[in-house]
Chain A
């Protein structure tokens, strides 16, 4: 059996606009928080896996490894990937292969420095043909919603409910973020806000249906099981990790109402973890839009195809901190999700892992999921692009 990689500490910055802070200050802050928590020194690190999407574009920083070396004064192997999920997978592979015993996984992004061009930059994550045809970062979400409505023949009162369910996702995520000191938007919004923004945009989805652009950094220390016990009594294990890849071109994919990468990744991650989906009580989903959160509930298998909006709608009539799906409770995006916690692309996945880590260690404070039983398993879904890549992590602790 493969050894289980263990997360011994996590750290992050507040997400939002860090107008005055240089990128290295952000990643340094995240690293310091995690290293202090684990009482680990820089010199203990055997390798670093860093992720960012846009630093070469937004901050004209290429070869980020050298930048990280200068910052840490380390000369260990360092690799840069585009998403936190990807950096973490590299870390897990190295730990499991026995190559390293302690690695740093970090992510950072500074998007607001380039707010005037960032939406064009975001199109780099989609195929050029779509860009040439006038696609925007929001358009595919809207097309997916229309495809969904058509495929499942949702009309009349049901359609109204679906639209309200999506609005509730945003309201719920904003509510969660009020309890998250690191969140970009720590304020409540109402369904009326969401609906009004849609009306102003004259579109099915409005400002409050989409995650913002953000600056921020996240970091975690990953070790093997043996080393983990030296640093902490409460390591969180990565029980399942999996990724999958799909076509860049949305229109060329088989399905326009689901993300294949999520379906594949969750299946493999569950198998690896040896648990059932029903064992998961808390999940951090990649809600780049409210539509993505809804679709992801179906892709992961929590909800039946074409039905997620019903569970969301019903759960949010009198929201208690979780979705009630088929009689079970599932807490989703307790940190506020990408919508309210923020979405600094390369760091986002780190904030998702951060949240599940805290939830599993019962350190989430006011956000702590109160379930009938103690939270044993949590899962994280991170996507790259519009579902071009998908990473699923299943985290758990105290399995002995």
Chain B
């Protein structure tokens, strides 16, 4: 049960799939009941919170919807059904997402029923352009398909480091792809956006790190495709992932959105690392997310050349000083006022400076940041095991890597542009994740981001041996998402429709 106006304002009940369990008889409710119907008055104060956000459920029954109510017409056809959790103790309604049903496809409902499902965090339904966008986790996908069910169990840290670093990360892209000109690009499902990608990435980072979400004291979300001009993505992430200590319906966490084109997230790596290193901050962990439903005008419009490269996805990194998997050795950032790519307020799509986005923009800043940091740390090209550049297209990162003297084995592992497209704020963080997925202890990683406008952040990271232990907690690796057998390829028209959202 819920009420529409309240749920629109306070959507975390449905976002998190929260409920209560009676400690006396074990009866479970998909609502915040203060007492148990069976146990009555004696159960007051004995109802404990539970949520189904990280749980695996089962699709009990389903039906095919091809004439949805008005708020769902943009979805076209979909599967709706009843899900059960905790061996059938609790039943809730749900919509199968990430599933396209073609116009004349025969739907065999029995092929869906009885299968295990994972709740997914998505947009709830269509609303007007001026309205708050409601979200919900009453959407689901099958646990044996693209998105795996992974348990979230917090791990007590056993080692403290002198220097802060990355303690966990998560990468999320959708299961849809468009394949053009030898590159594949990830395409959001129609109910996905930068907000949902940020939440998914953050969720996977918590799972990977084993960090107790209540110990995350700050969350930064960098994006240039927030569906709101005013309203942070970070607050939604904080609420859904329960970052910081929960006190009634408020999370004890500082949450902020950051912006600087594609380096909105990488810029904050040093802030997050510094924050957890400051003894009086009282913040043990800080999370940085870069997430974008990368925007591009349609191909025949001004700025439409970007439409060949844009992808969709999010990356989340948790910084701290305990059980670090990659220590931060140093950083260098540079900035200049360079209008190579911009989007005016109120405009739906960004504009692009054509050939001026190369030499005076991307190359100038990436080159400067990389060289300055290597000089500062006294590093030679051979000292770096992996080079991770920002990846706006296929040629730029290769050209800069070669120019800086890196060999293929140093830069190729990080190049994900041909798998996912340019994920904007998530671009270089995605490359970093691909490297962290495979790096060995003590290897050095040099990441250089780029944000139009313009600037670059360079970081040098050194992997620790704790990364090997944590790898077991992350099945949704970059490679897994790039080479997944459940990927679904869509044509250009579908791609534009899905990207535009509901």
Contacts and interface: CB of A to CB of B under 8 A. Distances in A.
Contacts of A249: 1, 93
A143 interface: yes
A146 B113 contact: yes
Interface residues of B, number: 40
Contacts of A370: none
A252 B61 contact: no
A249 B105 CA distance: 30
Given A143-B81, A251-B92, A133 B136 contact: yes
Interface in A125-165: 127-139, 142-143, 146-147, 150
Contacts of B417: none
B91 A132 contact: no
Interface in B53-67: 61-67
A119 B69 contact: yes
Given A251-B82, A252-B30, A256-B82, A131 B69 contact: yes
Interface stretch (B70-78, B177-185, B242-250, B408-416): B70-78
B93 A202 contact: no
B16 interface: no
Contact of B66 (A120, A135, A202, A204): A202
A131 B70 CA distance: 11
B87 interface: no
A137 B65 CA distance: 10
A156 B72 CA distance: 34
B68 interface: yes
B229 to A, nearest CB: 25
A201 interface: yes
A143 B64 contact: no
Interface stretch (B2-10, B278-286, B331-339): B2-10
Which of A128, A129, A143, A203 has the largest number of chain B CB atoms within 10 A?
Answer: A129
Interface string A193-218: 00000000111100000000000000
Contact of B93 (A119, A138, A147, A251): A251
Contact of A146 (B63, B94, B107, B125): B63
Contacts of A131: 69
Interface in A185-239: 201-204
Contact of B70 (A120, A128, A139, A142): A120
A118 B165 CA distance: 56
B68 A146 contact: no
B1 A120 contact: no
B69 to A, nearest CB: 5
Contacts of B81: 143
Interface residues of A, number: 33
A123 interface: yes
A263 to B, nearest CB: 19
A143 B14 contact: no
Nearest to A127: B1
A20 to B, nearest CB: 26
Interface string A246-268: 00111110001000000000000
Nearest to B105: A202
A133 B80 contact: yes
A146 B78 contact: no
B139 A133 contact: yes
B68 A136 contact: yes
Nearest to B63: A142
A39 B109 CA distance: 57
B71 to A, nearest CB: 7
A138 B69 CA distance: 10
A117 interface: yes
Given A119-B69, A132-B125, A143-B81, A203 B14 contact: no
Given A128-B1, A133-B139, A139 B92 contact: no
Contact of A134 (B4, B30, B78, B113): B78
B109 A129 contact: no
B138 interface: yes
B1 A129 contact: yes
25 contacts: A119-B69, A119-B70, A120-B70, A123-B69, A128-B4, A128-B7, A129-B2, A129-B138, A132-B136, A133-B92, A133-B138, A134-B65, A134-B69, A134-B80, A135-B80, A139-B63, A142-B63, A146-B63, A146-B113, A150-B61, A202-B66, A203-B64, A204-B63, A249-B1, A256-B61
List of 8 A-B pairs having minimum Cβ-Cβ separation, nearest first: A142-B63, A134-B95, A133-B93, A133-B138, A251-B91, A130-B93, A251-B82, A120-B69
